[in-house]
């Protein structure tokens, strides 16, 4: 939504309204019984940066000195984050984060320990590593927009990349990912990475074959051997953490009680959330009645 969508005090609320509409669409379409908003308590954990210094480097804003006469204009998304948190809390949708970890790690932990079917809502293909038909974990992939959602299962990952979801983290390690500042192994692209994983099963098998000089061309062998320092640390960065100690969370969707309904109406008036709030309240009411 355009950032011309603003509250009465001039604060942009386009992201708030858009986010509420996204949740409404997901709840209405996929009819979940539980919902959790997973949070980046640390979007670029130092322990990942220590292993690969380029990790997300390009996303770090350059800090420059600002003179006393220069007005600093708040980022239009950043100023909406507290409103989003307040709105989620009012609606009874739990926010779960973990110190020194990204939202992906929270998602990985919750999805792995869940006893119910899980839909992971993300535009980040790194989370394809969590897809697991046997455990009924799938990804609802949002990268192409909410009007073109894609359900990602085991077969989807195989069709897209030629590897199983269990191999995806190794695949991403080999291929690299410029959006995350991961260099990959020089000279190893998607097709070669998939071929190597098909032949050798996993990263450990590929390294063993390269060190033994068997099962791959001399050129590929030299690239793998040259990349060993990177391969020694990259899997820890790429693999989603699945064993975080997270607090117990009441995530079942419920209709809003009178107090929450009044708070939601007050927020909607304060921040000009209008029908976006009305729609999500109606969607949560319908979900809670199921």
Q: How many CA atoms lie within 13 A of 156 on its CB side?
A: 16
pLDDT band at 265 (very low <50, low <70, confident <90, very high): very high
In the chain, the domains with their CATH numbers are 34-251 (3.40.50.1010)
Query: Average pLDDT in the 73-95 region?
Result: 91
What is the predicted pLDDT for the residue at 249?
A: 87
Contact present, 120 and 109 (Cβ < 8 Å):
no
* Chain Cα centroid distance, residue 16: 18
Over 70: is that where the pLDDT of 61 sits?
no
pLDDT digits (tens, 9 = 90+) for 108-155: 999 999 999 999 999 999 999 999 999 999 999 999 999 999 999 999
Coil, strand or helix at 139: strand
Name the average pLDDT for the chain: 93
What is the predicted pLDDT for the residue at 4?
A: 87
- Name the β-bridge partners of 121: 140
Query: Average pLDDT in the 162-180 region?
Result: 96
Query: Average pLDDT in the 241-267 region?
Result: 94
Over 60: is that where the pLDDT of 205 sits?
yes
Task: Tell me how far apart the alpha carbons of residues 208 and 137 are, in angstroms, rounded to a whole number.
Answer: 31
Contact present, 109 and 247 (Cβ < 8 Å):
no
What is the predicted pLDDT for the residue at 72?
A: 52
178, with CB counted inside 10 A (0-12, 13-18, 19+), is: exposed
pLDDT band at 63 (very low <50, low <70, confident <90, very high): very low
- 139 — phi, psi (to 5°)? -110, 135
Q: Where are the alpha helices (DSSP H) in the chain?
A: 14-30, 46-51, 81-91, 103-113, 154-161, 165-175, 190-200, 203-212, 218-226, 228-238, 258-271, 274-289
- 138 — phi, psi (to 5°)? -135, 165
Query: Average pLDDT in the 78-95 region?
Result: 96
What is the predicted pLDDT for the residue at 103?
A: 97
Task: Tell me how far apart the alpha carbons of residues 270 and 221 are, in angstroms, rounded to a whole number.
Answer: 62
Both tokens of residue 47?
A: 């322990």
What is the predicted pLDDT for the residue at 57?
A: 87
Task: Tell me how far apart the alpha carbons of residues 20 and 75 are, in angstroms, rounded to a whole number.
Answer: 20
Tell me the chain's radius of gyration from C-alpha atoms: 22
């Amino acid at each position: 939504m355009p950032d011309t969508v603003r509250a009465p005090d001039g604060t942009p609320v386009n992201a708030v309204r858009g986010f509420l509409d996204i949740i409404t669409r997901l709840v209405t379409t996929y009819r979940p019984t539980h919902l959790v908003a997973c949070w980046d308590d640390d979007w670029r954990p130092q322990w990942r940066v220590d292993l690969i210094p380029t990790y997300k480097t390009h996303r770090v804003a350059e800090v420059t000195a600002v003179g006393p006469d220069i007005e600093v204009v708040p980022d239009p998304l950043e100023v909406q984050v507290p409103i989003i948190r307040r709105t989620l809390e009012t609606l009874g949708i739990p926010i779960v984060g973990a110190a020194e970890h990204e939202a992906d790690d929270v998602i990985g932990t919750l999805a792995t320990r869940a006893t119910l079917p899980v839909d992971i809502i993300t535009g980040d293909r790194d989370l394809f590593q969590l897809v697991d038909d046997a455990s009924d974990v799938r990804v609802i992939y949002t990268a192409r927009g909410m009007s073109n959602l894609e359900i990602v299962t085991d077969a989807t990952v195989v069709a897209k990349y030629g590897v199983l979801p269990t191999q995806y983290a190794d695949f991403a390690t080999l291929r690299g990912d410029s959006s995350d500042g991961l260099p990959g192994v020089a000279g190893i692209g998607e097709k070669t990475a998939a071929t190597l994983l098909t032949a050798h099963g996993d990263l450990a098998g590929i390294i063993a074959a390269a060190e033994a000089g068997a099962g791959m061309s001399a050129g590929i062998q030299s690239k793998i051997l040259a990349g060993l320092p990177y391969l020694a640390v990259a899997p820890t960065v790429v693999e989603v953490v699945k064993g975080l100690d997270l607090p117990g969370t009441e995530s079942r969707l419920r209709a809003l009680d009178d107090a929450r309904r009044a708070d939601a109406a007050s927020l909607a008036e304060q921040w000009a959330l209008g029908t976006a709030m009305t729609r999500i309240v109606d969607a949560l009411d319908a979900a809670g009645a199921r």
